């Protein structure tokens, strides 16, 4: 037995790709030209992630507009927006550096994805020699496409949520069909739901329990054997090297979060101040039996917002400490978040997206090496055959 380790999903898009996206939005290049840049970035992402020794890799989401909007639009600027959507929806989040990210607004039914994560994975999976994972967006995030108050004429909230759950289920199933070994569901809005920000009305509506119920509506459509490989990612946001809800106490989130019947959780932790307290909370609230699956807790040992590379020794020590509070057979390691959940991100603290990519691979290599060292120290490698 070893300690499993897995990334969240995204990597910074190379500067050349970010320029190509802007040129595509401006009508200066064709979709085929954009796709050539995306292919190049995916291949580079996979090859370099494999070279870190990581047992499972992703394509760094190089084709996705963002972790949340990939089903809805081709680019973050809104080029190729899906039917029944307008650009001016709710703020998904306002970040500590003052910038914000906005969702589209649903104008009518039916709600359908324009792009499934598998549509992108299909183009990348042949480039990989190692197993691939795929991240998808949670129904709870996309539920914010529907206006916060009132009902759309001819398309009730209940009808929308039913369509949304069908689409999220399809998104996960298609990813497995195309060959993903693991699928993790991005749930960054969970922690933000515990933060009442008057500038962002939905955060004040106590929506966490509703989010958990909605996500379980989708998770419960999968068998226990399938849910072993379906995860949930939680974080306080990670965009332009900034967060949106790092001040929310994990004690407000974790008891509810572990009510979701997922088989594993990718949990931001490296950037927490009092990590041991959070390990204790995880040990207390995660479940050995979540409707037939044990909840494996992958703790964040790498901070993608900080250019300083963690050492393998630091990674090892965190895991050894976490193992005091989390049963070791349900312990794993991860990064705190994707390295660039949104396609357009200059990674200001890193200097440039290309530098941030180099640093990301060094960080992943540290995670992989430190995790193996922790397994050794915890006496888990003895059984290896």
- Residues lying near Zn ion in the complex (CB under 5 A): 188, 235, 337
Name the residue nearer to Zn ion (CB basis): 164 or 185: 185
Q: How far is the CB of 304 from Zn ion (least distance, A)?
A: 9
d(CA 13, CA 341): 10
Name the residue nearer to Zn ion (CB basis): 85 or 183: 183
Q: How far is the CB of 384 from Zn ion (least distance, A)?
A: 32
Q: Is 376 within 8 Å of 46 (Cβ atoms)?
A: no
Q: How far is the CB of 258 from Zn ion (least distance, A)?
A: 17
Q: How far is the CB of 210 from Zn ion (least distance, A)?
A: 20
Q: Which of 41, 11, 17, 43 is nearest to 29 (CA)?
A: 17
| Element housing 137 (H / E) | strand 133-137
d(CA 255, CA 242): 26
Report the SS3 class of residue 302.
strand
Name the residue nearer to Zn ion (CB basis): 316 or 343: 343
Q: How far is the CB of 91 from Zn ion (least distance, A)?
A: 17
Name the residue nearer to Zn ion (CB basis): 37 or 239: 239
Long-range contacts of 22-30 (CB under 8 A, 24+ apart): 22/344, 24/75, 24/79, 25/75, 25/77, 25/79
d(CA 24, CA 66): 16
Name the residue nearer to Zn ion (CB basis): 337 or 374: 337
């Amino acid at each position: 037995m070893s300690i499993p380790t897995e990334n969240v999903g995204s990597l910074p898009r190379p500067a050349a790709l970010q320029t190509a996206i802007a040129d595509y939005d401006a009508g200066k290049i064709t979709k085929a030209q954009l796709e050539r840049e995306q292919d190049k970035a995916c291949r580079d992402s996979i090859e370099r992630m494999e070279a870190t020794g990581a047992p499972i890799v992703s394509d760094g989401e190089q084709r996705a507009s963002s972790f949340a909007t990939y089903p809805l639009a081709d680019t973050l600027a809104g080029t190729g927006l899906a039917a029944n959507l307008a650009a001016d929806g709710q703020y998904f989040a306002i970040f500590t550096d003052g910038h914000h990210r906005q969702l589209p607004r649903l104008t009518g039914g039916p709600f359908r994805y324009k792009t499934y994560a598998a549509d992108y994975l299909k183009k990348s999976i042949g480039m990989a020699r190692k197993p691939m994972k795929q991240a998808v967006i949670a129904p709870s995030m996309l539920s914010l496409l529907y206006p916060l108050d009132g009902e759309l004429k001819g398309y009730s909230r209940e009808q929308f949520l039913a369509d949304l759950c069908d689409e999220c289920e399809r998104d996960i199933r298609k990813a497995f069909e195309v060959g993903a070994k693991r699928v993790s569901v991005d749930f960054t809005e969970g922690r933000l739901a515990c933060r009442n920000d008057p500038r962002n009305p939905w955060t004040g509506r106590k929506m966490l329990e509703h989010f958990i119920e909605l996500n379980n509506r989708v998770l419960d459509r999968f068998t226990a054997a399938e849910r072993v490989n379906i995860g949930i990612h939680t974080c306080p946001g990670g965009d332009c090297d900034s967060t949106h809800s790092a001040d929310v106490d994990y004690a407000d989130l974790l008891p509810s979060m572990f009510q979701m019947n997922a088989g594993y959780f990718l949990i931001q932790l490296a950037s927490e101040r009092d990590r041991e307290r959070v390990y204790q909370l995880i040990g207390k609230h995660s479940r050995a039996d979540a409707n037939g699956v044990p909840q494996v807790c992958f703790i964040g040992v790498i901070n993608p917002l900080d250019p300083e590379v963690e050492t393998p020794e630091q990674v090892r020590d965190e895991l050894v400490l976490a193992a005091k509070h989390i049963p070791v057979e349900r312990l794993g390691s991860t990064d705190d978040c994707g390295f660039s959940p949104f396609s357009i991100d200059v990674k200001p603290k890193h200097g440039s997206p290309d530098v941030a990519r180099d640093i990301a691979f060094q960080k992943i290599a540290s995670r992989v090496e430190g995790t193996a060292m922790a397994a050794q120290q915890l006496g888990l490698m003895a059984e290896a055959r």
